[in-house]
Amino acid sequence: MTEASPEPVVGVLALQGAFAAHQERLVALGVSAPLVRTAEQLAAVDALVIPGGESTTMSHLLTTNHLFDDLKGRIADGLPVFGTCAGMILCAAEVLDGRPDQRSFGRIDITVRRNGYGRQLASFETDLDVDSLADPFHAVFIRAPFVERVGPECEILAEHEGVPVLVRHETCTVASFHPELTPDGRLHEMFIRSIGSPLHE
C-alpha cells in the first residue's frame, strides 16, 4: 500500500476453486482484485484471499506451480490473508483427516477437521451472528472444515451451534463457510478493514 493508492491490492489465489466469486465481491467494494497464479502476480498484491475448493488439490497445485514456498514466506512476513473453507484449511496450524501429502501454511493457531460436519451435513445454510455486524450473515457451508480447537490468541467472530466458524488472528481471517457465494460483501469489507485500509472513507 502506497500513499498514492490507499486501497490495497487484494489478490485472489486462482489455482482452483471458487475464486471468481471472491473477485466479484472485492471488485464490488471498489478494490483492485487480481487473480494470482504465479510468483510474479503474488509479488504484486498487498493481501490475498485463499478461496474454497479442495484443499488437497490446492496444496498440490501450489507445489507444482512453485508457489507454495513463496506464499508461505509472504504469509510469514505478514501478508494479510482471508482463507475460506479450503482456504481456512490451508491457513490452519493443524489439519485432521488431511491427506498425508497435504500441506498448509500454519498461519493461524487452529485445528480443523476436513469435512468434519459429516455426510448428512455435507452442505447446509444458516444465518450467523457475526461480531460487529448489525444483522446476521447468511452462510453457505459445503463440505466444511470443523474447527476443533482455537488458540488463545485468536478472536472468534462467529459460531454455529457452539463451534467457531469465523476466526481471526491479527490480519489473518478464516471462515469455514463460503462468504463469496452470497451477494453480501460485509465479510470481505471486514477483512479489508482489518488490514488497515480505510475503504470508502
Query: Does 94 contact ligand GLN by CB under 6 A?
Result: no
Q: Closer to ligand GLN at the Cβ: 46 or 172? A: 172
Q: Closer to ligand GLN at the Cβ: 107 or 114? A: 114
Of 22, 60, 160, 178, the catalytic one is 178
Cell 512476513 maps to which residue?
77
Helix/strand/coil for 185:
coil
Q: Closer to ligand GLN at the Cβ: 124 or 193? A: 124
Question: In the range 11-50, which residues lie near ligand GLN by CB under 6 A?
Answer: none
Min separation Cβ 196 and ligand GLN, Å: 27
Q: Are 42 and 48 in contact (CB under 8 A)?
A: yes
For the chain, list the strands marked E by DSSP. 10-13, 35-36, 47-50, 81-84, 92-96, 108-113, 123-128, 137-142, 146-150, 155-160, 163-169, 172-175
Min separation Cβ 6 and ligand GLN, Å: 32
Catalytic site residue 153?
Answer: no
Catalytic site residue 22?
Answer: no
Q: Which residues of 1-39 are buried (b: 16+ CB within 10 A; e: fewer)?
A: eeeeeebbbbbbbbbbbbbebbbbbbeebebebbebbee
Catalytic site residue 85?
Answer: yes
Of 60, 85, 91, 172, the catalytic one is 85
Question: In the range 51-70, which residues lie near ligand GLN by CB under 6 A?
Answer: 52-55
Question: In the range 115-144, which residues lie near ligand GLN by CB under 6 A?
Answer: 115, 142-143
The dihedral built from the CA positions of residue 127, 157, 106 and 77, taken in this order, carries a sign that is positive
Q: Which amino acid is at 200?
A: H
Give the footprint of ligand GLN on this chain (CB under 6 A). Answer: 52-55, 85-86, 89, 114-115, 142-143
Residues noted as catalytic: 85, 178, 180
